[in-house]
């Protein structure tokens, strides 16, 4: 449970203190929301606890991101007591009325409940958690402080809704249609999306790929939804901004594409530059599957993948792919560090044993070729909120203590949430943080230059000293960066921060292509 205490949560915090380590405090509420988001991506559910008003409304952004990217986060807010609301007084943190925050959170969650009655509270709690897991979306619970500690009955069992499983005849017709389309294809391929990871379908996808021999690519948002070391894995596909032309040719040249749980968003598709004919595409979302223009309502990606695996009689393997050899990178001594060399160095050194967390912007696009292990890559490649990566390292480190968080973040995003590094050491999380210092918002500059893209210049390598935890170093050449990165990865005992200085106009080819197109739209108004 991540959060920041306030007077409306103090009784809850006191109760949680009876189980040391359950509540993990952060520097800011949004940081708590991002940490819970990362924890949920890796462990299936995350929880954040904050106070009402000034705390809960700070969570709107992180909760909206969780909804947009299908992350099951439970948001809990302590609120004013029922008794002290009588007469509608002007209590601190209040906006409009006592239900304002509830209405706001209803718009960015799948379920919202008010725990104001001991008789109904157990069922509301159970329904909230069941909804978060089943729908892979955030939910919201509000707890008045004067009901905390009241006795109530046991948590009830909440069965899945009767329509959770599709109609057998509809499922059979869908599977028949999909198999017929794929059987008639000469060059079929699979695109794996984020829901493959959220819904735990990696092993079933592995079985499907092995049984059919179909090559598999993944989207940016779905990166590491499958294991990058699997023999059938080809790389990341993002339309015209795909970093690997071979992957783009493979998918664009397929005569049938099976799209599993992928968001057809602008960033995922290179601003909708995919060369895929909808009539030749099978797209399976969470609750519906389209075979060309034919829709099968209620047949979601889980039902489709499992149904195909069952029909093929494909064994679901134990997930233990053999790691591929990482590409070598030899730095040029004394050569100024640029974006291409930086990401080549990262690719040559990161992989199994790491959870790679890439911030939105060039940290994400430049990381497209990194090869993490399955579920070893976290990024906000759709909602794309800046400030996610650093606090996400806290959640990722606690969710998967067997893998060290490695954060790739730009200087602008680091300034938003970098202070969240301060509390990580006390809970045993010691990330490696690469801060790309290119003197401002490098994602925005190619679209429209202006002083508004400038940010305060800071000495990022000195942050660990200011925090009283860890070690930082500033580098600006290829050889110095590689030496600093190797040293940081070898030292697991503390936070290691590498400030990597690159030219302000030097960005990855993928981001350059994306911002060129986005810039045309921006300038049109």
pLDDT of residue 160: 63
Give the span between the Cα atoms of 59 and 453, in whole angstroms. 25
pLDDT of residue 316: 77
Q: Where are the domains of the chain?
A: 2-144, 168-312, 339-524
> What sign does the CA torsion over 89, 91, 94, 99 have?
negative
- Using DSSP, state whether 466 is helix, strand or coil: helix
Give the span between the Cα atoms of 44 and 71, in whole angstroms. 8
Q: At a CB cut-off of 8 Å and minimum separation 6, what does 220 contact?
A: 236, 238, 267, 268, 364, 365, 368, 379, 381
Q: 2-144: what CATH class?
A: alpha beta
Whether 339-524 and 168-312 are alike in CATH topology: the answer is yes
pLDDT of residue 228: 66
- Look at the domain 339-524 and name its fold: Rossmann fold (3.40.50)
Indicate the pTM of the whole model: 0.92
Residue 508 near residue 339, CB atoms below 8 Å: yes
Give the rounded distance of the alpha carbon of 298 from its chain centre: 26
**Per CATH, the architecture of 168-312 is what?**
3-Layer(aba) Sandwich (3.40)
Backbone dihedral angles phi then psi of residue 95, each to the nearest 5 degrees: -130, 125
Nearest Cα neighbor of 322 from 352, 356, 353, 367 is 352
pLDDT of residue 488: 98
The DSSP 8-state label assigned to residue 438 in this structure reads: -
Q: At a CB cut-off of 8 Å and minimum separation 6, what does 341 contact?
A: 329, 331, 332, 335, 478, 481
Q: Each residue of 273-327: pLDDT tens digit?
A: 676 777 889 999 999 999 999 999 999 999 999 999 999 987 876 656 566 677 8
Give the DSSP H/E element, type plus range, for residue 47: strand 46-51
pLDDT of residue 256: 93
Nearest Cα neighbor of 197 from 189, 188, 206, 209 is 206
pLDDT of residue 230: 73
Q: Each residue of 120-153: pLDDT tens digit?
A: 999 999 999 999 999 999 999 999 999 999 999 8
pLDDT of residue 448: 83
User: pLDDT tens, position by position, for the chain (525 residues)?
Assistant: 999 999 999 999 999 999 988 999 999 999 999 999 999 999 999 999 999 999 999 999 999 999 999 999 999 999 999 899 888 888 888 899 989 999 999 999 999 999 999 999 999 999 999 999 999 999 999 999 999 999 998 888 876 665 578 999 999 999 999 999 999 999 999 999 999 988 889 889 989 998 999 999 999 888 888 776 777 888 888 877 777 788 888 888 899 999 999 988 777 676 666 767 778 899 999 999 999 999 999 999 999 999 999 999 878 766 565 666 778 999 999 999 999 999 999 999 998 899 999 999 889 988 888 888 888 999 998 898 999 999 999 999 999 999 999 999 999 999 999 999 998 999 999 999 999 999 888 877 777 888 888 889 999 999 999 999 999 999 999 999 999 999 999 999 999 999 999 998 888 777 777 766 666 666 666
Give the span between the Cα atoms of 366 and 144, in whole angstroms. 46
* CA dihedral angle for residue 400, residue 136, residue 233, residue 207, rounded to 10 degrees: 100
pLDDT of residue 444: 79
The DSSP 8-state label assigned to residue 278 in this structure reads: G
Give the span between the Cα atoms of 117 and 321, in whole angstroms. 51
């Amino acid at each position: 449970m991540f959060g920041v205490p306030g007077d409306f949560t103090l009784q809850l915090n006191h109760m949680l203190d009876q189980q040391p380590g359950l509540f993990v405090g952060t520097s800011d509420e949004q940081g708590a929301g991002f940490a819970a988001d990362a924890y949920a991506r890796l462990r299936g559910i995350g929880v954040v606890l904050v106070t009402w008003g000034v705390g809960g409304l700070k969570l709107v952004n992180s909760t909206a991101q969780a909804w947009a990217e299908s992350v099951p986060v439970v948001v809990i807010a302590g609120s004013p007591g029922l008794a002290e609301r009588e007469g509608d007084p002007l209590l601190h943190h209040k906006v409009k009325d006592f239900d304002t925050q509830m209405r706001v959170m209803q718009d960015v969650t799948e379920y919202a409940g008010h725990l104001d009655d001991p008789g109904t509270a157990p069922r509301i709690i159970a329904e909230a958690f069941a909804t978060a897991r089943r729908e892979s979306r955030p939910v919201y619970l509000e707890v008045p402080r004067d009901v905390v500690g009241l006795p109530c009955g046991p948590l009830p069992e909440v069965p899945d809704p009767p329509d959770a499983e599709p109609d057998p005849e509809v499922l059979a017709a869908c599977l028949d249609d999909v198999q017929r389309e794929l059987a008639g294809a000469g060059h079929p391929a699979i695109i794996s999306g984020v829901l493959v990871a959220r819904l735990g379908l990696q092993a079933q996808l592995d079985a499907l790929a092995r049984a059919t021999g179909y090559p598999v690519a993944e989207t940016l948002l779905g990166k590491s939804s499958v294991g990058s070391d699997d023999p059938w894995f080809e790389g990341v596909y993002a339309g015209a901004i795909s970093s690997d032309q071979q992957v783009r040719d493979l998918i664009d040249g397929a005569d049938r594409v099976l799209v599993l749980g992928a968001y057809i968003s602008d960033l995922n598709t290179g601003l909708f530059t995919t060369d895929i004919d909808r009539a030749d595409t099978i797209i399976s979302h969470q609750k519906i599957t389209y075979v060309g223009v034919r829709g099968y309502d209620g047949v979601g990606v889980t039902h489709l993948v499992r149904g195909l695996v069952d029909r093929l009689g494909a064994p679901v393997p134990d997930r233990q792919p053999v790691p591929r050899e990482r590409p070598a990178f030899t730095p040029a001594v004394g050569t100024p560090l640029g974006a291409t060399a930086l990401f080549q160095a990262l690719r040559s050194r990161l992989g199994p044993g790491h959870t790679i967390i890439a911030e939105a912007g060039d940290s994400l696009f430049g990381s497209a070729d990194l090869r993490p292990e399955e579920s070893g890559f976290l990024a906000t490649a759709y909602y794309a909120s800046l400030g996610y990566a650093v606090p996400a390292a806290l959640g990722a480190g606690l969710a998967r203590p067997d893998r060290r968080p490695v954060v790739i973040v730009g200087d602008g995003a680091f300034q938003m949430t970098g202070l969240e590094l301060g509390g990580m050491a006390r809970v045993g999380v010691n990330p490696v943080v690469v801060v790309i210092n290119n003197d401002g918002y490098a994602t925005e500059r190619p679209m429209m230059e202006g002083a508004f893209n400038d940010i305060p210049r800071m000495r990022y390598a000195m942050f660990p000293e200011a925090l009283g935890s860890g070690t930082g170093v500033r580098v600006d050449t290829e050889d110095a960066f590689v030496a600093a990165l190797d040293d940081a990865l070898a030292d697991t005992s503390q936070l290691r921060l590498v400030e990597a200085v690159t030219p302000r106009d030097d960005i990855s080819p993928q981001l350059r292509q994306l911002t060129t197109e986005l810039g045309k739209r921006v300038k049109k108004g």
